[in-house]
Structure 1
Amino acid sequence: MVRDDFHDRLAELDAGLVVMARTVTDMMGRASRALLTADAELARQIIEADASVNQQRNTVDDQVAELMTIRPPMAGDLRFMLAAIRITGDLERMGDLAKHVAKITLLRAPGAAVPAEAAPMFTQLAEVAVRMATKMTQILGTRDQLDATQLSLDDDEMDALRKRMFAKLFSDWPYGVEAAVDFTLLGRFYERYSDHAVNIAHQVVYLVTGDVQLRD
């Protein structure tokens, strides 16, 4: 039946979002490990993996286009398809940001991009970012509105870490300009990665309620 085929395709699209989310979560976890251990080979693997994320986004876009040709979607189904397109945009960007972390690691290899004294701070950044992405992936699967709205609390922790980074940079930074640039860029990558996770959580709220949530 056409109706069954339509909803089977919707379910396939939904599952694809979760797979993509797991991919970018794993990428940032491994990119962070490469950064903290100066592992150039692992960094190369992350850079290469980004192509699969781009392909996953293209697949989702194609699936939405095909769904539109099967039959005119009802309001709830249309909302899901619009949210899916926005979500894949955020997920693709999360993959890009993990790749950027890996590129800085590779650029500074065989040396470390992160000074030893700053490594604990980046360990915390990575833990928060991956934790948020893991929660985001779970939210995509469960569509739990409460969990989605609470993800911003984790983002507050990321913002606090960024403030500590700036305090460090402007107080007693003995590692030179190049290391300062890396330090600033890496912090920004983690911050933006977390912002995209929150954006996706907002899309889940939109999917469930129809209400659009805007970031500050």
Structure 2
Amino acid sequence: MKQCTSCGSEIEGSDHFCPSCGAPVGTAETQKESGEGKSSQPRITSVFRRVGLILVPLVVIGGSIVFYSYVKPSVHAVIKRQPVVAAPMDYDSNVITMTNVSFHQNGNDIVFSLSDLKQYRLIRFEYPARNIIRPVMAYIDPEGRAVTAISISDHCGSTEFQLKNNQIYCAHCPSHWDMMTMEAYACCGTYYPDPIPSRVVGDEVRIPKEVVEKWSGRL
């Protein structure tokens, strides 16, 4: 036996309505359970909404960073730290070829003239590194930095390059690279002239001899 939740009268287990007041059996419990079900659904929806408000901006920001990095690659780490020696300029379609210049050694440094670099914009010399001749190049990038590099493309073996349209062009194959980011075009990919650190002292550009002598290639 159970009791009617409305009037308290005893009700047979098989009855669906109270014989005394006519109230449906279990109405209060059914309404309670129904109310709990309805109240839980908005809570779940609210949780998903809050999660969405957090995740969507993160996805948009992350995608924007990846897209921006692809569209505008960052300046090469070595080049970024090189000293500025001239006003910014854009290289047009006129080809600048390499000019061979003199250099000398001073203690632990390989030294060449900053005036030569400013005059020719793209220079080259060959340094006798132990048992091998190591070609070294220097140029002024579009933001005015003095960039020094090992003048070799390991893939095709070229040691000579040219400048035009803000890019370095291999003199022996179709490859070319952005002068600041080293973003590659055509076949030689990551085998661009390898930037090495240097510093400016007065009218001299100085490269640590150790850097050139220990360079062992990238293949």
Q: Which has the higher strand share?
A: 2
Q: TM-score range by the shorter chain?
A: under 0.3
Q: TM-score, normalised by structure 1?
A: 0.24
Higher RCO (CA 8 Å, separation ≥ 6 residues): 1
Q: TM-score, normalised by structure 2?
A: 0.24
Q: Which has the higher helix share?
A: 1
Larger radius of gyration: 2
